[in-house]
Amino acid sequence: MITLYRSPGSCALASHIALEEAGADYTTVRIDFASGQQRSDAYLKVNPKGRVPALVTDRGVLTETPALLAFIAQNFPAARLAPLDDPFAFARVQEFNSFLCSTLHIAHAHRMRGHRWSDDPAAHEAMRRFVPQSVGAAWELVENTMFAGPWVMGDAYTICDPYLFTLARWMEGDGIDPARFPKVLNHRNRMAERPSVQKALAVEAG
């Protein structure tokens, strides 16, 4: 049995959707960030980073969304969530997900987690003001140079799609008008219609 530790509104949604797409036998555990549960001794034993997602498998715990998504795709090959037989194509999948993780998500985090980079309140405010510009620049790259269509990698649905959907749900909060990015917005709308996405979102809302 696989166990996914998640928090509503977090990037853990991407792995949650992928587990549904894969038809995995799994359970989830909600971590309440509002109460600081991510810093509890019990959770830090699962993930010393104090963040989500964390995926408990029979071989140990995995963290970081790109790693979890790759594990899910490789562990459930029948679901065809990645081009596992093509090293170059699989590297392109990893390239896209790494960009979301290391660039777009980090730019987004400057809106509410400036304490990770500075202890100066003025710097925190400067970071928040800059988020629409930095996040917008990342979305421009996705829209104009990285999104193949109709899915992220082209005709085939992959582990890139739930990850893109998850981060695209943060646009408005980051001061981004989704209408600026019609490909991404269309993708977000189509993803929201998938049964796997609806099931994962229902769990989040519960």
Domain ranges of the chain: 2-80+197-205, 87-194
d(CA 160, CA 198): 17
User: What is the CATH architecture of 2-80+197-205?
Assistant: 3-Layer(aba) Sandwich (3.40)
Q: Considering the entire predicted model, what is its pTM?
A: 0.96
Mean pLDDT of the chain: 96
Residue 206 in this model has a pLDDT that exceeds 80: no
Say which CATH class 87-194 falls into. Answer: mainly alpha
Residue 96 in this model has a pLDDT that exceeds 90: yes
> Which residue matches tokens 């519960």?
206
- What local confidence, expressed as pLDDT, does residue 182 receive? 98
Residue 120 in this model has a pLDDT that exceeds 90: no
- Beta-carbon neighbour count of residue 83 at 10 Å? 18
Half-sphere exposure of 195 toward its Cβ, with a 13 Å CA cutoff?
4
Report helix, strand or coil for 26.
Answer: strand
- Residue 196: partners with Cβ closer than 8 Å, 6 or more residues away: 17, 20, 21, 162
